Amino acid sequence: MKLTVHYFSRYRETVGRDAEVIEGQFASLDQLRQHLAGRSGAWQVLAEQHLMCARNQDMCGLDEPLKDGDEVAFFPTVTGG
């Protein structure tokens, strides 16, 4: 399975990249997130309990299943004041 992963806002700044292509077997967005957070160091930012994600430009939950060719995005929750 080949996925394109995009990082936005603080996540992009923390991990130091906008996007990457990942190859592997991931049943869900959460499995992919755990894999990325397991890289340690700056990548642990993706282990945050509250984050937003999308699959193929549609907002979804971490339980969203993945398939080959999907485009995934991770971004922090938005707060305002």
Q: What is the CATH number of the domain that holds 49?
A: 3.10.20.30
- At 20, list the tokens: 């990457």
- In a domain? residue 20: yes
Domain that holds residue 58: 2-76
User: What pLDDT score was predicted for residue 49?
Assistant: 83
CB-facing half-sphere around the CA of 29: CA atoms within 13 A: 22
- At 78, list the tokens: 């938005």
Residue 3 buriedness (CB in 10 A; 0-12 / 13-18 / 19+): buried
Rounded average pLDDT per 10-residue block, the chain, 81 residues: 96 95 96 94 92 96 97 84 51
- In a domain? residue 39: yes
What 3-state DSSP class applies to 27? coil
The residue to which tokens 């398939």 are assigned: 67
User: What pLDDT score was predicted for residue 80?
Assistant: 53
Total tally of structural domains belonging to the chain: 1
User: What pLDDT score was predicted for residue 78?
Assistant: 74
- In a domain? residue 81: no
